[in-house]
Structure 1
Amino acid sequence: MFKRLFWIGAGVALGVIAVSKAQAYVKANTPDTARQFILGPDQDHVGMRTLEGLVDQFKQAQHAREEELNSRYMGKLQ
């Protein structure tokens, strides 16, 4: 079990390093207009915007599913 945790941790760490190196390379070697087109005007907070979008999408799906289940089972109770 500890081997798995070690390898998962190593994989996550290498993934974070690879992404940060790739982002640094793109920022250094891409013209500003192209970066703004791909990453948007706020280029320093792309990861945070992505995470916020994923959380918002999850909450919307969760709320929609809750409404669906409530409507389905509340009709059976009445």
Structure 2
Amino acid sequence: MVIFMPQKNPIRIQFSTACKLLDVTRESLRHTIRRDPSFPRPIKQGTTKQAPVFFDYQELVDWHNSKKEAAAAPMEA
């Protein structure tokens, strides 16, 4: 018998939750999506213009950690 154990972290999060998690405004997050090719691509649920947008939680965490590591690395001349 397999028992489903809920994950501690969510699989996906809403756009507004991603803003809260990263402590940025909606416009700042939109800007990051457009300008940073390493930022995780949003996942649209549906084909309509008003369909909700989600992000993969682990991809956001990995992106954030890579930015932290890059900032902590010593600058090369």
Q: Same fold (TM over 0.5)?
A: no
TM-score in terms of structure 1 length: 0.31
The structure with the greater share of residues assigned to strand is 2
- Bigger relative contact order, structure 1 or 2, given CA contacts below 8 A and separation 6+? 2
Structure possessing the higher radius of gyration over alpha carbons? 1
Normalised TM-score (structure 2): 0.31
